[in-house]
Homo-oligomer: A and B are copies of this chain.
Amino acid sequence: MQNIQDEPPLANNHISVDCVVIGFDGEKLKALLVKRIGEEAGDIYNDMKLPGSLIYTDEDLDEAAQRVLCELTGVKSVNLIQFKAFGSKNRTSNPKDVRWLERATKLKVERIVTIAYMAMVKIDRTLSKSLEDYQACWVALEDIKPLAFDHNLIIKEALAYIRQFVEFNPSILFDLLPRKFTAARLRTLFELVYGKSIDVRNFHKKIALMEYVVPLEERQKGVAHRAARYYKFDRKLYNKVRR
């Protein structure tokens, strides 16, 4: 790509994809992060980033997101939903990020527009152990430290997007839950997604209205407190009820 003649400064950019993959361990929402190892003035440092990377010439955005997530974490075949492009010129304002990326990609980096994807997955998915360099791991949202680039912002906006998405497609929440779950676990999930506490009794009424959340005969075993009933999500019923 070259300027044929002098013209206003059109941006010459790299494009990356970044994946916000959210899991739920029954108590907390967690994001899947990978380790970043860099060097600054001879010192090795260690921090975290979202699974993401530059795209290849011959791949589409959605393909790139699937490839990058799998390469960096071992997680594949997830329903990655593109939710926003981040293209502020300030994304590369931290020289540390630029130095790291230039070393990693062997490219001169000016500006990177990243296309952000999000997915909700069951947290017991196997993470690749062969990718020691990246050491993918789940980090509770509240424990996430400052990440590379604008990745903290991207996670924040992913959560805002999820909150809206759930309004018209609540089924996505059940992607976070095991096959059977208690009402308490479902309530905790709603509380975390909406960021507010929900009254227990009101929530039982709410569940009763969600025809697609079906009570099972089975109850918890080996618990100190009164054994709670299990529920399951019935996708067929959901698809029927919600048009």
Contact = CB atoms under 8 A, between A and B. Distances in A.
A9 B113 contact: no
Copies in the complex: 2
Given A4-B106, A12-B1, A113-B113, A61 B88 contact: yes
A108 B12 CA distance: 12
Contact of A1 (B56, B61, B110): B110
A89 interface: yes
A7 B105 contact: yes
B107 A4 contact: yes
Contacts of A108: 1-2, 4
B106 A3 contact: yes
A1 B2 CA distance: 10
Interface in A96-138: 102, 105-111, 113, 115
A117 to B, nearest CB: 10
A57 B111 contact: yes
A158 to B, nearest CB: 14
27 contacts: A1-B1, A1-B14, A2-B107, A3-B106, A3-B107, A4-B102, A4-B106, A4-B108, A5-B106, A7-B106, A9-B56, A9-B57, A10-B55, A10-B57, A11-B56, A11-B57, A11-B59, A12-B14, A13-B14, A55-B87, A57-B89, A57-B111, A59-B89, A61-B85, A61-B87, A61-B88, A113-B115
